[in-house]
Amino acid sequence: MIGVFSVFLFVTIFFFFLLFLKSLLKKEYCVICTSFSLTWIFLIFLYWFGYFDDLILLAILIGMTILGIYYTLEEKVGKPLLVFRLPFLLSLVTLFYSLLSFSYSLFPVFLLLAILWAMFVIVFFYQNNMALKDFTHRLIECCKRW
């Protein structure tokens, strides 16, 4: 079985390979994010075929990708769309969780996500309403970098 050392070695090899590739392609991407993502994608295939069983390490690597996706989109979307932080993050966690352990027991999670998205869409479209203005502002400023 593949251990932590091997996983760190994969990340390191991907990192230097992608760093070299980036200079050739003149393409903008985060080398470290891509290194971690490629590592867990490789590991998840090994997991599915029974050659990797460290779900804690796999979950940590996937969590790093979730946070990377979140921060990337946070920088690129307009401020009003930041009200969707919670349902977006929970949707990403659900999506990636289902890669490791999909079951029909996720139905309540999908239902909760649908309700959350619906509620946040309503808040988004009525954010200038006096009754929701303060709440919307608090949603947007919930993760302000102090």
pLDDT value, residue 142: 76
Amino acid at position 23, single letter: S
According to the model, what pLDDT value does residue 145 have? 61
Model pLDDT, residue 146:
53
As to burial, measured by CB atoms within 10 angstroms (0-12 exposed, 13-18 middle, 19+ buried), residue 83 is buried
At 27 the pLDDT is 83
* pTM, 2 dp: 0.82
Tell me which DSSP letter residue 49 carries.
T
Query: How far are the Cα atoms of 19, 26, 72, 106 from residue 29, in angstroms, in the given order?
Result: 10, 10, 11, 33
pLDDT per residue of the chain (146 residues) written in tens, 0 to 9: 788 999 999 999 999 999 999 989 888 888 999 999 999 999 999 999 999 999 999 999 999 999 999 989 988 888 888 889 999 999 999 999 988 887 788 899 999 999 999 999 998 888 888 877 777 877 777 776 65
Q: What one-character DSSP code corresponds to residue 51?
A: S
From residue 19, how far is each of 12, 100, 124 by CA, in Å?
A: 10, 29, 40
Q: Which residues contact 11 (CB under 8 A, 6 or more apart)?
A: 35, 36, 39
Closest CA to 15 of 32, 39, 38: 32
Residues 6+ apart with CB under 8 A from 116: 86, 87, 90
Residue 75, classed as helix, strand or coil, is: helix
